[in-house]
Each structure stands twice: as structure tokens, then as C-alpha cells.
Chains A and B, each alone.
Chain A
Amino acid sequence: MFDLVQLIILFPLLGFIGIGVLGKYLKSEKVIGIIGSSTVGISFIISVILFFHIISTGLAKPYIVDVFTWIATGDFSVKVSYQVDQLSILFSLIVTGVGFLIHVYSIGYMHGDRSFARFFSYLNLFIFMMLNLVLASNYLLTFLGWEGVGLASYLLIGFWYDRKFPGVRITWTGDAGNKAFIVNRIGDFGFLIAMFLIFANFGTLSYTEVQDIAYLGKSIYFDTGLITAITLLLFLGCTGKSAQLPLAVWLPDAMAGPTPVSALIHAATMVTAGIFLIARNSVLFSLAPITMEVVLIVGVITAFWAATIGITQNDIKKVLAYSTVSQLGFMFAALGAGAFVAGVFHVMTHAFFKGLLFLGAGSVIHGMHEEQNIKKMGNLAKYMPTTYKTFLLASLAIAGVPLFSGFFSKDAILWAVYNDGGFIWWLILTIAAFFTAFYMFRLVYLVFHGKERFDHHKLHPHESPKVITVPLAVLAFLSVFGGFLGIPYVFGFWFSHHPNALENFLMPIFAKSNNILGVPLEHELHAIEYLFIAIAIAVALIGIKVAINYYSDDKLLRPRRIAEKFKAAFDLSLNKYYLDEIYFYLIVDPIVNGSRSFLWKKFDVGVVDGIVNGSATVVQKISETLRRIQTGIAQNYALLMIAGIAAILAWVVSSF
């Protein structure tokens, strides 16, 4: 039964190859769209089947499906094999489920694009690689997927390669793609080194084997330099892929890609690969307290940093991009606090509401004829009622309004961070949550309410077609109700004493790390937890209220006044803390200048070229001489051959 996992991988691959090769000949957008979506849809259905099979069998140990041996040289052998367990199937559900909706949405969104087929083949490639990433049973295959999604992301960011995209030293969308790719290289480097270390010390790259060895030797490995190094390097990889500080700079520029891409890759799935990697390696991470501390701090600071930027941005997609970075910070904070389930829970709810927000933004951009500046929108609720309603629901979810999905997952994170990290980190994260509520409702009000700030004669906003609004509705449903899968114990105990559905489901995955971290099986109840929840709710509601107060006024007098009063802080936020500029000044420019003036003009031209050209000249001289042997006269050949034998004979005999 579990062998079906191969089909989950296979279908998107077939879609990628099929559409990639035959796309030119398939003239109909409908055919391409249906093929592209159905491959992912089939994978989703198989994932659902496997999901229920796991529940019914209560799979205690991961089920490994070997497909074939990829590399076998000496002691080193890597199999292409997939691992079916609770974590991989959960991610597979998110990737294929949300992925399917976004594929369907893209049929409408990309309608009329001249590279329609190319778009769908890339999307299928992405799904294929992402599934390899999450279903792999060893590090190398995950790394293949890791690089593969990076490639797909690169291809899709620069999808409209002939369009301009403004940014710090960025002019074309292709530049943004390069930036994403290059910044990710730094993280990948960490992943690679971690992989080398793992192979050198554990002698295997299989997840189950590494975790078993580490768990059995937990008293030896606990808090050693080796485990700390491995986990820190893995985390470096995560900061790249999941856009955390210090490598967060690429994600906002990745918005150069078409909006479905932003929704799928740069919000719902790929950027959560870092969370996946840490969850997959929960045993290693729980053996490294220092790394856990680092993960927590990086997560909290990123969450705060990005949230403060989100409040001043004027591009609808940029706001959502910084929001994504911020929410990913929340997830890392949860992981760092040892609350793996809470982190994964937030991945899931975030996939729903952030996917929805991006798709809603896409619908707005579509209806507004490619306008992305929220200062030039307003009162769109009147023109796009479905988009408005779903967008509003998602905003309520991300802001953390009670009973919406984001409320539960965010609450679980905040409580875990307080419990493990202490009051300060909790406080920073809570402030970030306040900003989240604020910037979301600033967005809602500027886009959908107030006065129309666009030229009514030129622009006729319109609601999007069904193929776009239906996925919105489905995601809206999930954004509202998805949270009930993981009701925190503090509420859940009213219904039963068991852990919530998600925690129960993921129990086998995190049993070992929970054991190491000393997490009790049964939750204790703290009265203070209710207080914290009350604060969280209050913060969310105040954030919303402030935003409404500020931005329901058409002249935006109050926001302007505040911006002028705190001009330095405002500029800092508007310019993203000048992080891009700092990187260019401190790192990129010195390297480029050094390479140009010394490495290229002196070392390369002088030393390297000198050696190369010199040896080339020698080789040429020799070969010209050798060439003369081939005279073309048969007698000479015979003579030379006999001479050759004689020479060898003489040589052999003389060596007796």
C-alpha cells in the first residue's frame, strides 16, 4: 500500500516532461491546464489515501520504499528511496493540496500568457522536486529536491524575463531570480557541509539510521561540538531556503514572479522546507541545546524585523512577502523552543491563509490590470466581493482572531516560546503579532475600503472568473476551520484528555526528541496560560482596531503625521533596515572589486593565463613534432612499428 508513494512523485514528473516536451504542440490552454493540474490532483488523492492508511494502521516506524540504487561506489551508496511517515505525508498533503488549488487558479491567472505551457511545466517541476524533498529517505535525495525547488523557484521568479522589476541593484526580474539563487547558495553550502559531516561521522545518509544512531548514543552526543556544528550548518541551509536573517533578503525580491508562484513557492510550500528539515532532524536538533537557542532567537528576531517592515510597504505583494518572512520566524521560534508540533502546525495553517492572501492579491492585481500599489487602490470590495470576503477571512486568520486557524497555531507558538525561552522573547514575538494584525488590516482597508484612488475612467476593476474564485473559497474554508486539528490543550481538555489530533498524529515522529528534551506526555495546566491567551487576543484586536482607525480616514492624516514624527524609524522600515545596501557595501562590493582588480587583472591574467598559455605552447610544439611521424607512406609505418617492438623488447629485456 505504502509503495504507492512512488506514484505521488511520478505524476508531477510526467506532467513536467509531458508539458515541457509537447507544450509547443498543445495549442489549447485548457488541455495544458487540465494536464498540469490533474497530475498534482492525482498526487493529492494518493496522499490522502496514504494519510488515511497511516491513521488506520497507526504506522509506528517509517516505511521505506526503495526505488533504485542511484550511486554505488565503494562504501558509499545512495538509494533513491522514499520514506512514508506522518511528517512526510503531512507535508505531501500540504504541497499537493495547496499546489493543486494554485494550479487550478493559474489556469485563470495565466490565461493568455504566451508561455502558458512553460509556466505549467515549471510548476509541475517544482511540485516534483518539492515532493522529493519531503518524501526522501536520505539527506542526499532531500538535497536533490532542495536544489531542484531552488531551480524551479529561480526559473519562475524570472518567468517574465523581459519585464522590469525595481529593487536594490535589481532592474529585471531575472536579477531577482539571480539574487534568490545566489543567496540560497550560501545556505546550501551549509547543508552540504552538514551532510559531509554526517556521512563522515555516522557512515550513512539515511534519516532513520542517523536518527537511530544519534538517539541510541544520546548521552555521548548530547551537546557535543559535532552535533552543534551539524545542526548549525543545517540551520544555515534553513535560513537560506526559509528566508530567515541573515539570508532573508531574497524573498521580497522573489515577488518578481507571477503571483501564483509567490503563493505556492514563496509562501505556502518551498519556504517551509527549512521547518521541514529541522522537524525531520528533530533528534539531532534536540541533542544540540545551543543550536536550539540560536534557532529560537533567529526566529523571534526575524519575525519582529519583518513585521516592522510590513507596516510601511506599499506594494501589495511586498507586504505579504514580509509577512511571510515574519510568519516563518514564528515557526522557527516554535522549533527553537522545542515545540516541533506547533511549528509544523503553523506551517499548515500558514499554507492555507498565506496561500489565500497571495491568491487574493493576485485576483486584485488581475482585476486592477497589473496594478500592485495599494495607494492606488481602494473600495475594491464593491467590485470584487468574493475576493474581498476571502481575503478578509484570511486576514482574520493571520491576525490571530479567536477560532480562526491562525489563532490556534500562533497561540501554541507564543506559549511554547514563553515556556522555553522566557519572557523577553515572548514579548518581542507578541509585539510582532501586534504588527501583524496592524499591517494586515492596513492592507485590507487600503485595498478594499475607503475612497477609490484610481482613475475610474481608465481602470475598470472586475471580479475574477470562477476558476480563480473557487480555489479562493476552498482555501478560505481551510483558513477558518483548519485550526481545529490542533487545538491547544488549554482549550482541548474541555473535550478530552488526549493530545489534539495533530499532536497525536505526529507523536511517532517526535517521540524521540520529546524524550531527549524531557517534554512530558501529559500537559499540565497553568492558569497563567489563559492570561497569555487573553493578552494575545487583546493584542490582535487592538492591532486591527488601530489599523481601522488609521486607514478608514481617506486622507490618511494620522498615518502621515506618525510617519513624519518618527521619520527615522519610518525610513528605516520603508527601506528594509537598509539590509540590502549593507550587504552590498560590506560583502558584495569588496568581493567584486577585489576579484576584478586583483584576481582577474593580476592573478588570472598574469599567473593563471601565463601558466596555461605557456603549457599550451609547449603542448603545441610537441604535438607538431609528433604529427610529422605520420607520413602517409606505408613503408614508413611498417618500419616504425618494427622499431617500436624492438624498442619495447630492448626495454623489457634490459630491465631483467
Chain B
Amino acid sequence: MDSLLSLFIGQYVADLKRSLALFAPELVLATAFVLLVIVDLIFQKSKYITGVVALLGFAVATIFMIVSPANTSFGFWQMYVFDPFSNFFKYIFLISGFAVVLISFFSNELNKSDRTMGEYYTLILGMTLGMFVISSAGNLILIYLALETMSLSSYVLAGYTKEIKRASEASLKYVIYGALASGLMIYGISILYGLTGTLSLFQINAFLTQYQGPVFPLVVASLLVLVGFGYKISAVPFHFWTPDVYEGAPVAITAYLSVASKAAGFAVFMRFLKAGFIDPTNASEQVWTMVSSIDWKFIVAVLSVLSMTIGNFVALWQTNVKRMLAYSSIAHAGYMLMGVTVMTEGGYIAVMIYFFTYLLMNFGAFYVVQLIANEIGSEELEDYNGLGYRSPLLGTAMAIFLVSLTGLPPTAGFVGKLYIFQAVINSNMIWLAVVGVLNSVVSLAYYAKVFRNMWLRGVDSNSAPLKYSIYAQLLVYAFVIPTLYYGIFWTPLVFWAKSSVMMFIGK
């Protein structure tokens, strides 16, 4: 008995050691988080030093990501999973982290004289840590905890400009809505636990393979868990917070929420579906079979169609560019859900490709919106008239991002859509592809509006040209160039996604 215990402890310690080694990037983020708090206490006057520390934290984490051995295994007693799939999303979070910090440097609304920026960057780090954990979580409780870590940070960040009324309102709505969603989700988790007796995704999967009982409670529980994910990726009908929060939050945070937060939601949702509900014996095949009788394909397809359609159609009427981009991001969640719906390897690859391209173009578009707001103090479409002539760089860049968001070549957005539609058509869901294409057409209408106002309206207004620092301009290029580059040479991107689709499924 004694030897058995010591064997158990020995195994435990060995697993812990191994896991901690793989956990290094997350540890770096946590360390940076603590360090930031201290740095903030010392350098309270400086606005940028905390941001720089955050950047350093991301950089060190990136280095650890790169040098960490390619590994596909459990960590921390099946709570945690290390696999190429989570690594892909962690890189997305890191790139987004760099982007949001850099964008924040150039934000006038954030860098007001009477505001300290220490907590801001600290919270961004905390949020990123939450995303790291959620993309690797293999256990429902850990998923829930990571989701809350992300959410709590984002509530504060959304209302960071607290003197602005709509920001505070947005933050409050976000909290209420988030509390509701997370309450429903934990309710679902508890039912699922009651049914299956486990919280591990892999054991749930094993349970479902044997399960012969009634399906109804299982459906209810799964749908309630889905609420939590749906709320993170702002899929209709869990999207209502999105427009208000996106409009009220500082632009940098809006961009971060719309890309990184959404990516985290997708990562966990895709893992939940694949690890929990796909037959692990054929999970390496091109087309997967499901172990439960829940029609996930149908449910996700409904969410996808609703998100695309409502996102695009409502965006048509928006007069505020930020709000319009919020609805557009709902529509993009719909496009990406198409890739999830097909439940094939190709579909997952397509979603991952899409995310990378979406990261570039969406951050780019929001960044342009912020730079314009810095100068003209408005995000209204009306006030964009003639801006193309006042700042040809921003006008051109915005046009490229919007073309990319529409999904036209030769931009990265085209590649993302191409692979999504390819995956959908390969699974014979032609009707869904048709809906997607029609939606893209609708989206062109409102994207083109921005372009039209910038270049074709108010042409003869003799207003002064907008001036930006060389660094602010360089950051625009940093988004424009890859958007165009990956529109032409996308093969490396596809290879990366293909090699990253491998997900650890417990076998």
C-alpha cells in the first residue's frame, strides 16, 4: 500500500514536471502579468513603459512557443492538452497581443493625460493568459475558469475609458450579458456532469460511445454549454452584446475582442466538438463520424446561417463605422462557423486559415478607424467623406482591408473564404455555400459605402491633410503588406494550418 502511494506520488510529480516544462509560455505570461503590476507601481508617470513590458512578455512567450518541443500529450492529469491545434491559436493570440498593444500606443482616447495605463496592459496580459489556457483546456471546469478569466478582463477593458458614457454603458451591458451566458453555461456543465459523471472531454466522449439513454437531457445540457461559446464568438442569437460593446469600447479593445477573444471561443468550441463528440477511432480521417445522436451539424449550420445573415443585413443600416464593423464581425463568425459545420478536417483547416487572414484585415480596419478617430474625433460614416484625399495612405489601406473583408482577390480574405467554401462544397452542403456567397455579396454593399465616402464623396473639400507619425504609418503597412502578400502567396499559410489541425483526442 505504501509503495503504491509512493508510486502514485512519483508519477504525479513526473507528470507535473513534464507539464510545467510544456506550460512555459503560459508561465511567462503569468510572470509578466505580475511584473507589470510592480512596474506600474514604480513608473506611474510613464504611459508606455507598461506597454513595452507587455510587449516583452509577449516576445518571451513567443520565444518559448517556438523553442518548445513539438508535443502532443496530456498535461496536469488530463486537465490540459498540448497539441499543434492549441499552438496555432496561441500564435494567433500572441500576434493579436502584439497588435493590440501597438495599436493602443497610437490611441488618443486611451492615452489621455489623466489616465494611468498600467492596469490596461496588465488586463490584456491576463486576458491573453485566459485565452492560452482555454485553447488547451481538456476539462469543462478549466474551460469555464479560463472563460471567466478572459471575460472578467474584457469587462474592465471595454469600459476602460470610463469618462465616456457609452463605454461605461457597454461595460455594464457586457457584464450583465456575460453573467447570464456564463450562468447558463455552468448550468449546462452541471447537467452534463450529472449525466456522465465526468468533466473531462475525453471521458465524456468515452461515455457517449456507450450511452444508450435518453437524448433530451444531453441536448439541453450541450446547448446550454454552447451558449457560453456562442457568446464568446458572438454568434446569433448570443450576439446582442456585441454591437453595443464594440461601439463603446476603445477601438484597440474592440479589435482585440473581435479577433483574439473570438479565436479563443472558436478554439474551445472546435475542441469541445471534436474531443467530445467525434468518434476518436476515425478522427484522423477526412470525414468524421459522431458518437452521439445530437445533430451538431444542423445546430451549427443554423447558427452559421443566422449569424451571417443577421450580421450582414443589419450592418447595411449602420451609420457608425465601428458599429458596422461589429456587425461585420458577427457575419464573419457565421462564415467561420460554416467551416465548423462540415465537421471535417478540411473544414477545421479552413477555419484556421480564415482566422489568420481575419486577424490581419480586421485589426487593420479597426486600426485605420482609430487613426481617423484620433484626428477627426468621429467614427461616423458621414464624417469619412473625402478622407481618402486627406490621407491617401489610410484611404488606400482601408480600401484594401475592406476588399479583403469582402473576400475578393488578391487579398488574404479571398484565401480564407476560398478554403471555407471549398470545404463546404466538398461536404456536399451546396446550399450553405450559396448562402455564404450571397451574404458576401450583401457585405460588399456596406463595405463599399465606407470606400465610397472616403474617395467619392466630399472630393473638393479643401480640408487639411491628416498627418500621422512615421511609426503610426509603419504599423498600417504592417497590416497592409501581409494582407496583400497572403492573398498571392498563401501556400505557406495553408501548410501551416494543415500541419496544425492535429488535435489531441485522448487516444
Contact = CB atoms under 8 A, between A and B. Distances in A.
* A and B co-occur in one complex: yes
Interface of A: 68-73, 616, 619-620, 622-624, 626-627, 630, 632, 634, 636-638, 640-641, 643-645, 647-649, 651-653, 655-656
Interface stretch (B24-32, B99-107, B119-127, B239-247): B239-247
Given A70-B491, A641-B237, A651 B302 contact: yes
Contacts of A648: 223, 299, 302
B79 interface: no
B206 interface: no
A649 B313 contact: no
A634 B177 contact: yes
A620 B299 contact: no
B317 A644 contact: no
B240 A652 contact: no
23 contacts: A71-B491, A73-B422, A616-B445, A619-B442, A620-B317, A623-B313, A623-B314, A623-B317, A626-B313, A630-B314, A634-B172, A641-B181, A641-B238, A644-B237, A645-B184, A648-B223, A648-B302, A649-B223, A651-B302, A652-B294, A652-B299, A653-B216, A655-B295
B489 A68 contact: yes
B215 interface: yes
A652 B302 CA distance: 11
A638 B299 contact: no
B491 A72 contact: yes
Contacts of B240: 630, 636-637, 640-641
A641 B491 contact: no
B219 A619 contact: no
Given A72-B494, A632-B244, A634-B177, A641 B227 contact: yes
A135 B223 CA distance: 58
A70 B302 CA distance: 36
Contact of B224 (A634, A640, A645): A645
A641 B179 CA distance: 13
Nearest to B222: A652
A641 B244 CA distance: 15
B44 to A, nearest CB: 35
Give the interface residue-count category, chain B.
35 or more
Contact of B316 (A620, A651, A652): A620
A234 B305 CA distance: 45
Contact of A638 (B172, B177, B220, B314): B177
Interface in B138-173: 172-173
Interface of B: 172-173, 176-177, 180-181, 184, 215-216, 219-220, 223-224, 227, 236-238, 240-241, 243-244, 294-295, 298-299, 302, 310, 313-314, 316-317, 418, 422, 442, 445, 489, 491-492, 494
A553 B424 CA distance: 80
Contacts of A624: 317
Q: Which of B173, B241, B299, B316 has the most CB of A within 10 A?
A: B316
A636 B442 CA distance: 27
A653 to B, nearest CB: 7
Contact of B180 (A69, A622, A623, A638): A638
Contact of A634 (B173, B181, B316): B173
A69 B495 CA distance: 10
Contacts of A632: 244
Contact of B237 (A69, A70, A640): A640
Contacts of B445: 616, 619
A643 to B, nearest CB: 8
Nearest to A646: B223
A624 B314 CA distance: 7
Nearest to B174: A634
A620 B173 CA distance: 28
Contacts of A72: 491, 494
Given A644-B236, A652-B219, 11 more contacts: A619-B316, A619-B442, A623-B313, A626-B310, A630-B240, A634-B177, A637-B177, A637-B241, A643-B237, A645-B184, A645-B227
In the A-B complex, the 6 residue pairs with the smallest Cβ-Cβ separation, listed nearest first, are: A644-B237, A637-B240, A623-B313, A623-B316, A69-B491, A634-B176
A648 B220 CA distance: 10
Q: Which of A70, A623, A640 has the most CB of B within 10 A?
A: A623
Contacts of A645: 184, 223-224, 227, 237
B189 to A, nearest CB: 15
A641 B317 CA distance: 22
B275 to A, nearest CB: 21
Contacts of A641: 177, 180-181, 227, 237-238, 240
A647 B306 CA distance: 13
Nearest to A620: B316
A432 B491 CA distance: 52
B352 to A, nearest CB: 16
Nearest to B243: A630
A649 B220 CA distance: 7
Nearest to B176: A634
A71 B224 CA distance: 42
Contacts of A649: 219-220, 223
Contacts of A71: 491
A651 B299 CA distance: 9
A642 B238 CA distance: 9
A147 to B, nearest CB: 13
Nearest to B238: A641
Contacts of A620: 316-317
A71 B219 CA distance: 42
A70 B486 CA distance: 11
B299 A627 contact: no
Nearest to B237: A644
A634 B180 CA distance: 11
Contacts of B295: 652, 655
Contacts of A655: 295, 298
Nearest to B227: A645
Nearest to B311: A626
A71 B295 CA distance: 35
Nearest to B490: A71
A627 B311 CA distance: 10
Contacts of A638: 176-177, 180
Contacts of B492: 68
A72 to B, nearest CB: 5
A196 B241 CA distance: 50
Contacts of B220: 649
Contacts of A636: 240
Nearest to A643: B237
Contacts of B177: 634, 637-638, 641
A71 B494 CA distance: 10
Q: Which of B223, B240, B299 has the most CB of A within 10 A?
A: B240
Contacts of B172: 634
A626 B316 CA distance: 11
A312 B176 CA distance: 87
A69 B494 CA distance: 11
B76 to A, nearest CB: 32
Contacts of B238: 641, 644
Nearest to A636: B240
A45 B130 CA distance: 57
A73 B346 CA distance: 11
Nearest to B313: A623
A609 to B, nearest CB: 15
A503 B299 CA distance: 70
Contacts of B244: 632
B504 to A, nearest CB: 26
Nearest to B240: A637
Contact of A656 (B215, B302, B313): B215
A13 to B, nearest CB: 14
Contacts of A653: 216, 219
A162 B280 CA distance: 69
A652 B298 contact: yes
A227 B369 CA distance: 56
Contacts of B241: 637
Contacts of B176: 634, 638
A219 B437 CA distance: 47
Contacts of B294: 652
